[in-house]
Structure 1
Amino acid sequence: MKQDYQPTWRKPVGILLLVAALAIYAFGVASLAGVIGGWHVLVQTLVYIVLGTVWLLPLRRFLIWMETGRWG
Structure 2
Amino acid sequence: MDHHMTTPLKQPTWRKPAGMLAILVIILLWSGIIVSASDFIGAQNIAIQSIIYLVAGIIWIAPMRPLMIWMETGSFRAPPQA
Q: TM-score scaled by structure 2? A: 0.83
Are 2:42 and 2:49, in contact at CA under 8 Å, matched by a contact in 1?
yes
Structure 1 unaligned runs (5+)? none
Off by >6 Å, runs of 4+ in structure 1: none
Q: For 1:2-61, what per-residue CA distance to the aligned partner results, in whole angstroms no more than 9, with x for missing partners?
A: 221110000011111110121011001110000010110011001100001011111101
Query: In structure 2, what is the Cα distance between the partners aligned to 1:24 and 1:47?
Result: 17
Rg: which structure is higher?
Answer: 2
Structure 2 unaligned runs (5+)? 1-5, 78-82
Number of residues paired by the alignment? 72
User: Which structure carries more relative contact order (alpha carbon 8 Å, separation 6+)?
Assistant: 1
Give the share of equivalent positions with the same residue, in percent.
35
* 1:44 correspondence with 2:44: no
* 1:61 correspondence with 2:66: yes
Amino acid paired to 1:56: I
